[in-house]
Structure 1
Amino acid sequence: MSGELDEGERTFRLCCEQFIQHSQACGDGWMWEDVKGSEDGYMKKTLLKTRSDSGAPSKASRMSKDDETIKLEFEAQAVDEEEVDDDDIGNTTANGPELIRYEYHVVYSSSYQTPVLYFRASSSDGRPLTLEEMWASVGDHYRARLLQGPWDTITQQEHPLLGQPFFVLHPCRTQEFMSPIVTAAKGENRSLNYIIAWLSIVGPVVGLSLPLSYASAASQLEATPD
């Protein structure tokens, strides 16, 4: 990226910075990743989930892991029970549950002037999950609504900063559902971290939930976009 950041991206980075500060405080595993050779960057989280016999991933492991840890776990193809929810342990087989590696990126879109959620997943042997498998992992609560127009909601496209194939929640309606939230915050003269508010809405659609502590942290943050 050349030149100064526009106002939207400056606000995006400020919100990400505050978001990551809280993530580090509560051990939620988010980090900022700079793109080599440029001034661009994005927010990133990687975690493991286990896949139940039904094929749908079950609850995420309690602790996020960095890429090296995940690589070692995949190579070992073993499960550390201390890192897995009790419900997951109940779903294990004699050979242990299949581990699925999920990677989530939050990237700023200059075209839409909003954050965009990119994500991908792969099995323990490195095979990327297909779009159909990603849809199978969407909770029933969200699936019925999304299936009304899946190709307009979850699509596969090239990551704008990495040039690699990722799934993406299309941002075309982000302004539409976020505008009332921003307007309400301004009307009540209260602070709003756009990333926390936005990610708490779109994240659960693709299996990404924020700890409740973000809700209380949001009231203490002061980054409110125009």
Structure 2
Amino acid sequence: MESAGIAEEDDDEEALVGSPRKRKKKPIVVYDIVYSPSYRVPVLYLTLKHAPGANIYELLVPVSHQPQMQNTGLSGSLSLTDHPVTGLPVYFVHPCRTAEAMAAVRGVSSEGPIEYLMLWFGLVGSSVGLAVPVALAEALRR
């Protein structure tokens, strides 16, 4: 029904009412792995996007890993540093005990680089929510 040239609003339930709300962006974590010649192990760097003021331990570290991550070193296993490639500030999993932990897991076996990285992902990556998809791990075993 129209009256004086003004159309009645229709009852479209899917119509936008007012201005659309800005959707809150979910945090994104960018993981970089860079080999450290001084520690002689891969080092995991993490960049958080869309997470201002987020507590990295609460956001990324599984509850089962939090005590050991927070109690290692002066400020925990996660620290801030400059990214070795970009120069931007990032978090990183401190590598000081990586070689020792890898030796304990590997024992005396000597596997190749792929097997080493799969173990490294399990040890270091799992502490901050990074894992190799099962399908990829299975494909790499062949």
Structures share a fold, TM > 0.5? yes
| RMSD after superposition | 2.4
Q: Aligned residues, how many?
A: 119
- Point out where structure 2 has 5 or more consecutive residues left out of the alignment: 1-20
Alpha-carbon displacement from aligned partner over 1:139-198 (angstroms, at most 9, x marks no partner): 211112222236140000001111110100000001001113344433xxx656222210
- 2:77 equivalent among 149, 153, 157: 153
- Point out where structure 1 has 5 or more consecutive residues left out of the alignment: 1-93, 221-226
Map 1:66-145 to 2 at 5 A.
98-123=25-50, 129-130=52-53, 133-137=55-59, 138-145=61-68
Opposite residue 177 of structure 1, the aligned amino acid is A
| Larger-Rg structure | 2
**Post-superposition, which runs of at least 4 consecutive aligned residues in structure 1 deviate over 6 A?**
none
1:172 aligns with 2:96: yes
Distance 2:134 2:52 in 1: 29
Cα pair 2:27 2:48 within 8 Å, conserved: yes
Map 1:1-226 to 2 at 5 A.
98-123=25-50, 129-130=52-53, 133-137=55-59, 138-149=61-72, 151-186=75-110, 191=112, 193=114, 194-220=116-142
Pair 1:129–1:108, CA change in 2 (3 A): farther
Distance 1:181 1:129 in 2: 36
TM-score (norm 1): 0.46
Pair 1:214–1:182, CA change in 2 (3 A): farther
More helix by share: 1
Cα pair 1:104 1:119 within 8 Å, conserved: yes
